[in-house]
Amino acid sequence: MTWTWFHRLGSPPYVYALAARLTPWFAWPAALLILGGLWGGLVLAPPDYQQGEGVRILYVHAPSAWMSLMVYTTMAIAGAVGLIWRIKVAHAVAASCAPIGASFTVAALVTGALWGKPMWGTYWEWDPRLTSELILLFLYLGYMGLRTGIEDTQRADRASAVLAVVGLVNVPIIHYSVTWWNSLHQAPSVMRLAKPSMAPSMLIPLLMMLLGFTLLFGALLLVRLRGEILSRERAASWIREVVGA
Protein backbone atom coordinates (compact mmCIF):
# COMPACT_ATOMS: atom_id res chain seq x y z
CA MET A 1 0.00 0.00 0.00
CA THR A 2 1.42 3.36 -0.97
CA TRP A 3 0.77 6.58 0.86
CA THR A 4 1.21 8.86 -2.12
CA TRP A 5 -2.50 9.75 -2.23
CA PHE A 6 -2.29 10.88 1.39
CA HIS A 7 0.76 13.03 0.73
CA ARG A 8 -0.88 14.51 -2.36
CA LEU A 9 -3.85 15.55 -0.21
CA GLY A 10 -1.40 17.68 1.76
CA SER A 11 -0.23 19.49 -1.37
CA PRO A 12 -2.09 22.81 -1.87
CA PRO A 13 -1.87 23.00 -5.71
CA TYR A 14 -3.08 19.41 -6.04
CA VAL A 15 -6.00 19.96 -3.64
CA TYR A 16 -6.89 23.28 -5.31
CA ALA A 17 -7.18 21.61 -8.73
CA LEU A 18 -8.97 18.57 -7.29
CA ALA A 19 -11.49 20.79 -5.46
CA ALA A 20 -12.26 22.71 -8.65
CA ARG A 21 -12.75 19.48 -10.59
CA LEU A 22 -14.95 17.82 -7.94
CA THR A 23 -17.31 20.75 -7.19
CA PRO A 24 -19.89 20.08 -9.97
CA TRP A 25 -20.00 16.39 -8.99
CA PHE A 26 -21.33 17.51 -5.61
CA ALA A 27 -23.38 20.54 -6.66
CA TRP A 28 -25.57 18.97 -9.37
CA PRO A 29 -26.59 15.81 -7.50
CA ALA A 30 -27.26 18.05 -4.48
CA ALA A 31 -29.58 20.28 -6.52
CA LEU A 32 -31.48 17.30 -7.96
CA LEU A 33 -31.85 15.56 -4.59
CA ILE A 34 -33.04 18.73 -2.85
CA LEU A 35 -35.58 19.52 -5.57
CA GLY A 36 -36.83 15.92 -5.51
CA GLY A 37 -36.93 15.94 -1.71
CA LEU A 38 -38.91 19.20 -1.71
CA TRP A 39 -41.46 17.78 -4.11
CA GLY A 40 -41.72 14.59 -2.07
CA GLY A 41 -41.90 16.41 1.25
CA LEU A 42 -44.29 19.21 0.30
CA VAL A 43 -46.57 17.39 -2.17
CA LEU A 44 -46.29 13.59 -2.12
CA ALA A 45 -45.78 12.86 1.58
CA PRO A 46 -48.97 12.52 3.65
CA PRO A 47 -49.75 14.86 6.56
CA ASP A 48 -48.95 13.41 9.99
CA TYR A 49 -51.88 11.91 11.93
CA GLN A 50 -51.03 14.08 14.95
CA GLN A 51 -49.14 17.07 13.56
CA GLY A 52 -51.12 17.48 10.33
CA GLU A 53 -49.43 19.53 7.61
CA GLY A 54 -47.19 21.10 10.25
CA VAL A 55 -45.00 18.00 10.05
CA ARG A 56 -43.68 19.24 6.70
CA ILE A 57 -41.27 21.48 8.62
CA LEU A 58 -39.41 18.21 9.24
CA TYR A 59 -38.05 18.21 5.67
CA VAL A 60 -36.11 21.43 6.22
CA HIS A 61 -35.53 21.23 9.98
CA ALA A 62 -33.91 17.77 10.13
CA PRO A 63 -31.45 18.44 7.25
CA SER A 64 -30.44 21.81 8.80
CA ALA A 65 -29.91 20.19 12.21
CA TRP A 66 -27.96 17.33 10.60
CA MET A 67 -25.75 19.90 8.81
CA SER A 68 -25.07 21.76 12.06
CA LEU A 69 -23.67 18.57 13.64
CA MET A 70 -22.00 17.01 10.60
CA VAL A 71 -20.21 20.22 9.62
CA TYR A 72 -18.98 20.72 13.19
CA THR A 73 -17.66 17.15 13.34
CA THR A 74 -15.87 17.65 10.01
CA MET A 75 -14.41 20.94 11.28
CA ALA A 76 -13.12 19.36 14.51
CA ILE A 77 -11.63 16.31 12.74
CA ALA A 78 -9.93 18.53 10.13
CA GLY A 79 -8.61 20.75 12.94
CA ALA A 80 -7.27 17.70 14.80
CA VAL A 81 -5.57 16.38 11.64
CA GLY A 82 -4.02 19.81 11.15
CA LEU A 83 -2.78 19.90 14.75
CA ILE A 84 -1.37 16.36 14.78
CA TRP A 85 0.25 16.17 11.33
CA ARG A 86 0.73 19.91 10.79
CA ILE A 87 -1.07 19.83 7.46
CA LYS A 88 -1.97 23.31 6.20
CA VAL A 89 -4.72 22.02 3.92
CA ALA A 90 -6.47 20.37 6.89
CA HIS A 91 -6.56 23.72 8.71
CA ALA A 92 -7.94 25.31 5.54
CA VAL A 93 -10.73 22.70 5.49
CA ALA A 94 -11.58 23.43 9.13
CA ALA A 95 -11.67 27.19 8.56
CA SER A 96 -13.93 26.72 5.52
CA CYS A 97 -16.47 24.72 7.56
CA ALA A 98 -17.27 27.31 10.22
CA PRO A 99 -19.50 29.83 8.37
CA ILE A 100 -21.40 27.00 6.64
CA GLY A 101 -22.05 25.21 9.93
CA ALA A 102 -22.98 28.38 11.80
CA SER A 103 -25.57 29.41 9.20
CA PHE A 104 -27.24 25.99 9.16
CA THR A 105 -27.29 25.98 12.97
CA VAL A 106 -29.29 29.23 12.75
CA ALA A 107 -31.62 27.54 10.24
CA ALA A 108 -32.04 24.54 12.58
CA LEU A 109 -32.86 26.81 15.55
CA VAL A 110 -35.31 29.01 13.60
CA THR A 111 -37.13 26.13 11.87
CA GLY A 112 -37.22 24.32 15.23
CA ALA A 113 -38.82 27.37 16.87
CA LEU A 114 -41.38 27.56 14.04
CA TRP A 115 -42.18 23.90 14.61
CA GLY A 116 -42.23 24.24 18.38
CA LYS A 117 -44.79 27.04 18.46
CA PRO A 118 -47.77 25.10 17.02
CA MET A 119 -46.74 21.71 18.50
CA TRP A 120 -45.48 22.63 21.99
CA GLY A 121 -47.07 26.06 22.29
CA THR A 122 -43.75 27.90 22.56
CA TYR A 123 -41.00 29.15 20.23
CA TRP A 124 -38.30 28.57 22.80
CA GLU A 125 -37.78 26.56 25.95
CA TRP A 126 -34.55 26.04 27.91
CA ASP A 127 -34.77 22.39 27.03
CA PRO A 128 -31.64 20.14 26.85
CA ARG A 129 -31.83 19.68 23.06
CA LEU A 130 -32.55 23.34 22.30
CA THR A 131 -29.96 24.63 24.77
CA SER A 132 -27.17 22.32 23.54
CA GLU A 133 -27.94 23.33 19.92
CA LEU A 134 -27.70 27.01 20.93
CA ILE A 135 -24.32 26.24 22.56
CA LEU A 136 -23.26 24.74 19.21
CA LEU A 137 -24.02 28.09 17.55
CA PHE A 138 -21.89 29.86 20.17
CA LEU A 139 -19.05 27.38 19.52
CA TYR A 140 -19.15 28.22 15.81
CA LEU A 141 -19.26 31.96 16.55
CA GLY A 142 -16.43 31.60 19.08
CA TYR A 143 -14.38 29.67 16.52
CA MET A 144 -14.88 32.38 13.88
CA GLY A 145 -14.27 35.19 16.37
CA LEU A 146 -11.03 33.54 17.52
CA ARG A 147 -9.84 33.23 13.92
CA THR A 148 -10.55 36.88 13.10
CA GLY A 149 -8.97 37.96 16.39
CA ILE A 150 -5.58 36.34 15.67
CA GLU A 151 -3.66 37.99 12.86
CA ASP A 152 -1.08 35.23 12.31
CA THR A 153 -2.74 32.44 10.27
CA GLN A 154 -0.69 29.61 11.80
CA ARG A 155 -1.50 30.66 15.35
CA ALA A 156 -5.16 31.21 14.42
CA ASP A 157 -5.22 27.70 12.90
CA ARG A 158 -3.83 26.06 16.00
CA ALA A 159 -5.88 27.99 18.55
CA SER A 160 -9.16 27.57 16.67
CA ALA A 161 -8.44 23.85 16.10
CA VAL A 162 -8.05 23.35 19.85
CA LEU A 163 -11.38 25.12 20.44
CA ALA A 164 -13.09 22.99 17.77
CA VAL A 165 -11.74 19.73 19.21
CA VAL A 166 -12.71 20.63 22.79
CA GLY A 167 -16.18 21.71 21.63
CA LEU A 168 -16.69 18.35 19.91
CA VAL A 169 -17.89 17.02 23.29
CA ASN A 170 -21.12 18.96 22.66
CA VAL A 171 -22.00 16.92 19.54
CA PRO A 172 -22.91 13.63 21.32
CA ILE A 173 -24.61 15.71 24.03
CA ILE A 174 -26.90 17.24 21.37
CA HIS A 175 -27.57 13.89 19.74
CA TYR A 176 -28.33 11.98 22.96
CA SER A 177 -29.95 14.91 24.83
CA VAL A 178 -33.42 13.63 23.94
CA THR A 179 -32.62 10.18 25.36
CA TRP A 180 -30.62 11.22 28.44
CA TRP A 181 -32.98 13.89 29.69
CA ASN A 182 -36.67 14.48 29.58
CA SER A 183 -36.91 16.70 26.54
CA LEU A 184 -39.79 18.33 24.74
CA HIS A 185 -38.01 17.34 21.54
CA GLN A 186 -39.00 14.02 20.01
CA ALA A 187 -36.55 11.10 19.95
CA PRO A 188 -34.64 10.31 16.75
CA SER A 189 -36.66 8.42 14.15
CA VAL A 190 -34.02 8.07 11.42
CA MET A 191 -30.58 8.33 13.06
CA ARG A 192 -30.88 5.33 15.34
CA LEU A 193 -29.56 1.78 15.53
CA ALA A 194 -32.93 0.08 15.05
CA LYS A 195 -34.78 0.45 11.77
CA PRO A 196 -36.16 3.97 11.12
CA SER A 197 -39.69 4.33 12.46
CA MET A 198 -41.23 6.19 9.57
CA ALA A 199 -43.40 5.39 6.58
CA PRO A 200 -41.43 5.21 3.28
CA SER A 201 -43.53 8.07 1.84
CA MET A 202 -42.04 10.34 4.53
CA LEU A 203 -38.68 8.62 4.93
CA ILE A 204 -37.64 8.78 1.26
CA PRO A 205 -38.04 12.57 0.81
CA LEU A 206 -36.33 13.09 4.16
CA LEU A 207 -33.37 10.92 3.15
CA MET A 208 -33.18 12.77 -0.19
CA MET A 209 -33.02 16.09 1.66
CA LEU A 210 -30.41 14.78 4.12
CA LEU A 211 -28.19 13.44 1.31
CA GLY A 212 -28.81 16.55 -0.83
CA PHE A 213 -27.76 18.88 2.00
CA THR A 214 -24.70 16.73 2.70
CA LEU A 215 -23.61 16.97 -0.95
CA LEU A 216 -24.36 20.71 -0.91
CA PHE A 217 -21.99 20.99 2.05
CA GLY A 218 -19.38 19.15 -0.02
CA ALA A 219 -19.75 21.64 -2.88
CA LEU A 220 -19.71 24.69 -0.58
CA LEU A 221 -16.67 23.34 1.27
CA LEU A 222 -14.76 22.72 -1.98
CA VAL A 223 -15.40 26.29 -3.21
CA ARG A 224 -14.45 27.87 0.13
CA LEU A 225 -11.43 25.59 0.48
CA ARG A 226 -9.96 26.96 -2.76
CA GLY A 227 -10.26 30.50 -1.39
CA GLU A 228 -8.66 29.47 1.91
CA ILE A 229 -5.77 27.74 0.11
CA LEU A 230 -5.15 30.80 -2.10
CA SER A 231 -5.08 33.16 0.87
CA ARG A 232 -2.59 30.91 2.70
CA GLU A 233 -0.14 30.49 -0.15
CA ARG A 234 1.95 33.64 -0.24
CA ALA A 235 4.78 33.03 -2.64
CA ALA A 236 3.91 29.86 -4.51
CA SER A 237 4.38 30.14 -8.26
CA TRP A 238 1.42 27.87 -9.09
CA ILE A 239 -0.94 30.63 -7.92
CA ARG A 240 0.05 32.75 -10.92
CA GLU A 241 -1.41 30.13 -13.22
CA VAL A 242 -4.72 29.63 -11.42
CA VAL A 243 -5.53 33.33 -10.96
CA GLY A 244 -4.22 34.26 -14.41
CA ALA A 245 -2.03 37.14 -13.22
Partner 1 sequence: MSAFFDMGGYAAFVWPAYGVTFAVVVLNIVWARQSLGRARQDARRRLDARAEAP
In whole angstroms, the minimum distance from the beta carbon of 225 to partner 1 comes to 9
Residue from the set 64, 132, 160, 170 that interacts with partner 1 by CB under 8 A: 64
Backbone angles phi, psi at 161, to 5 degrees: -65, -40
Beta strands in 49-196 (DSSP E): none
Stretch that binds partner 1, among 80-88, 105-113, 150-158, 160-168 (CB under 8 A): 105-113
Q: Give the DSSP H or E segment for 69.
A: helix 58-85
Q: Answer yes or no whether residue 107 interacts with partner 1 by CB under 8 A.
A: yes
In whole angstroms, the minimum distance from the beta carbon of 81 to partner 1 comes to 22
Residue from the set 26, 33, 45, 56 that interacts with partner 1 by CB under 8 A: 56
3-class state of residue 237 by DSSP = coil
Residue from the set 9, 77, 114, 178 that interacts with partner 1 by CB under 8 A: 114
Q: How many whole angstroms separate alpha carbon 150 and alpha carbon 143? A: 11
In the complex with partner 1, the residue whose CB is nearer, 197 or 231, is 231
Gyration radius of the chain over CA positions:
20
DSSP letters for 147-163: HHH--SHHHHHHHHHHH
Count CA within 13 A, CB hemisphere, residue 160. Answer: 32
Residue from the set 26, 33, 61, 208 that interacts with partner 1 by CB under 8 A: 61
Beta strands in 173-240 (DSSP E): none
Residue from the set 91, 129, 185, 224 that interacts with partner 1 by CB under 8 A: 224
Q: How many residues does the chain have?
A: 245
C-alpha triplet 129, 134, 139: angle, nearest 5° = 125
In the complex with partner 1, the residue whose CB is nearer, 52 or 172, is 52
- The residue ranges that bind partner 1 (CB under 8 A) are 34, 42-43, 47, 52-54, 56-57, 60-61, 63-64, 99-100, 103-104, 106-107, 110-111, 114-115, 117-118, 216, 220, 223-224, 226-228, 230-231, 233-234, 239-240, 242-245
